[in-house]
């Protein structure tokens, strides 16, 4: 069974060129048992605890990953080389590590998302730290399979799964940014079909939101399904901003300012409302959708503070200048910092108004239980 024995090595099949449909169901995982026995697994503690009882065989190799620094990932790639298949189990950190390692080792990739909190399993970019710099490792392999195991998603804290709602909501501001780039004459791979796809997913959020707020597993699985619909577009149109734009630049700035304690999806949700304000793009709808899905909107409810948010203008300007994306942050140019300061009281008022009008969020604090350590922490998913 050892992956070290060259006599039983299975040569990797040619890497897939089209995105697989996500396979939903525990049966799929059990059927993968024979694959697991010949695979190396990279994971984090909580998802690994949750998935172990479901496996029909032990993996040939297994590694708990704790860092996305390049040196750690290169060491992991060495440790996990040999088996023809690399399986990632968990959240953004595990998914990105799996992508990176499979690329380095030229292994077949299988991903098991540990929650609905992010869509890292549906992109070809792994985020890697080179010292203090966050680097995009692009063109990672397209997975051979994405296995969505309802029991694993259900084992993650509701708040974590709920945060995945923002990864769809963010198209509200991303589509606007994409259009700005297109109109300004930038090469943004404008595509009416992709735009229509993203708009259709946005339109379905009114129906999805109550189930997400109530913590229904079917709603969390629908988040994963919608994320999967975007996967081919991420691969074919890397410059198209149909599902990540200025709200993600804000979210990454807030995550950095908080020292990584803010959940990525919750920062994206707040970023969508704030950027919709700067875009003059129906911010009330963005706020109402986030609220009705149970996402927290107040910075203090997500482990940040108003002072932290209000202090982000210089960081946003720097990130916008350094990014190859064209968003409202670029369109505002030198007016960005003053527009940001002007938007703050309007953002507070909008959140207060939305909270007064819409049902209270059902979000509970993240428990120390399964899934909380790694399903959304670590490197934020790239989302494009």
- Residues of this chain that bind Zn ion (CB under 5 A): 167, 381, 383
Task: Closer to Zn ion by CB, 82 or 379: give it.
Answer: 379
Task: Closer to Zn ion by CB, 3 or 22: give it.
Answer: 22
Task: Closer to Zn ion by CB, 146 or 383: give it.
Answer: 383
Output b/e per residue, 152-163; b: 16+ Cβ within 10 A: bbbbbbbbbbbb
Minimum distance from CB of 167 to Zn ion (Å)?
Answer: 5
Which residue's C-beta sits nearest to Zn ion? 383
Distances (CA, A) of 331 to 176, 178, 183, 184, 279: 12, 11, 11, 9, 10
The closest alpha carbon to 321, from 331, 307, 311, 312, belongs to: 331
Task: Closer to Zn ion by CB, 48 or 127: give it.
Answer: 127
Question: Coil, helix or strand for 41?
Answer: strand
Output b/e per residue, 247-259; b: 16+ Cβ within 10 A: bbbbbbbbbbbbe
Minimum distance from CB of 14 to Zn ion (Å)?
Answer: 30
Minimum distance from CB of 184 to Zn ion (Å)?
Answer: 24
Task: Closer to Zn ion by CB, 122 or 326: give it.
Answer: 122
126 and 79 Cβ atoms separated by less than 8 Å: no
Residue with tokens 């730290």: 129
Determine the Cα–Cα distance for residues 173 and 242; give it in Å rounded to an integer.
9
Task: Closer to Zn ion by CB, 296 or 381: give it.
Answer: 381
The closest alpha carbon to 117, from 86, 147, 143, 93, belongs to: 93
Minimum distance from CB of 37 to Zn ion (Å)?
Answer: 33
Q: Which two tokens stand for residue 201?
A: 């997913």
Minimum distance from CB of 179 to Zn ion (Å)?
Answer: 20
Minimum distance from CB of 169 to Zn ion (Å)?
Answer: 10
């Amino acid at each position: 069974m050892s992956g070290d024995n060259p006599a039983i090595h299975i040569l990797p099949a040619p890497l897939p060129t089209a995105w697989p449909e996500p396979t939903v169901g525990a049966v799929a995982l059990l059927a993968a048992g024979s694959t697991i026995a010949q695979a190396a697994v990279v994971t984090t503690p909580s998802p690994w605890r949750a998935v172990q009882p479901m496996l029909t065989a032990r993996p040939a190799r297994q590694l708990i990953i704790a860092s996305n620094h390049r040196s750690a990932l290169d060491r992991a790639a060495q440790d996990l080389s040999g088996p023809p298949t690399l399986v990632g189990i968990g959240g953004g950190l595990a998914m990105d590590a799996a992508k990176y390692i499979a690329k380095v080792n030229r292994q077949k990739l299988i991903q098991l998302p540990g929650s609905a909190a992010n869509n890292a399993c549906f992109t070809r970019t792994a985020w890697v730290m080179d010292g203090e710099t966050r680097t995009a490792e692009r063109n990672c392999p397209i997975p051979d399979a994405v296995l969505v195991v309802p029991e694993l998603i259900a084992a993650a804290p509701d708040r974590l799964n709920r945060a995945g709602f923002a990864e769809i909501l963010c198209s509200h501001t991303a589509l606007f940014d994409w259009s700005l780039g297109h109109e300004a004459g930038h090469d943004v791979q404008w595509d009416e079909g992709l735009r229509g796809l993203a708009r259709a997913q946005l339109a379905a959020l009114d129906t999805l939101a109550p189930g997400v707020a109530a913590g229904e597993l079917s709603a969390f699985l629908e988040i994963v399904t919608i994320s999967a619909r975007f996967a081919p577009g991420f691969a074919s149109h890397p410059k198209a901003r149909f599902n990540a734009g200025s709200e993600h630049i804000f979210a990454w700035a807030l995550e950095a300012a908080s020292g990584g304690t803010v959940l990525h999806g919750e920062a994206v949700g707040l970023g969508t409302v704030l950027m919709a304000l700067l875009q003059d793009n129906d911010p009330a709808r963005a706020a109402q959708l986030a609220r009705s899905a149970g996402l927290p909107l107040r910075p203090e409810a997500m482990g940040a503070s108003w002072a932290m948010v209000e202090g982000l203008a210089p960081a946003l300007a720097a990130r916008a200048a350094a990014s190859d994306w064209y968003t409202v942050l670029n369109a505002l140019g030198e007016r960005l910092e003053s527009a940001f300061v002007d938007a703050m009281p309007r953002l507070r008022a909008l959140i207060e108004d939305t909270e007064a009008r819409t049902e209270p969020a059902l979000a509970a604090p993240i428990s120390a239980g399964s899934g909380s350590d790694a399903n959304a922490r670590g490197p934020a998913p790239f989302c494009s």
